[in-house]
Amino acid sequence: MRKRNRVITMTHTAKTARQLDQLLAQIALDHLFIETLETRNSDRLDFHDVSVWAVQSALVAAYQAGLAAGQNATSKATDQPTSQQAT
């Protein structure tokens, strides 16, 4: 049982990391006009000139996404019965 829980946790963690990468890439594209966050080993491709208002907008979007994720996690935790309630 313990091994199965570890596999589920690792799968969940990988999925969460993938979702975070996708979210950050979308914020970078929408607010900073950066096509990818992958390192391309080229100064021309890896460094970008962006305005301070675009950086602020991207930071606000990331902050709001974090708030939404926290609220979703809290609501899911309160919706699920504890082991004592389930018995």
Q: Mean pLDDT by 10-residue block, N- to C-terminus, for the chain (87 residues)?
A: 60 86 98 98 98 98 95 81 55
Query: Hey, where are the domains in the chain?
Result: 1-38+48-69
Give the CA angle between residues 36, 39, 41 to the nearest 5°. 130
pLDDT number for residue 2 = 58
The helices-and-strands tally (H runs, E runs) of the chain is 4, 0
pLDDT number for residue 78 = 78
pLDDT number for residue 85 = 54
Cα of 47 vs its chain's centroid, Å: 22
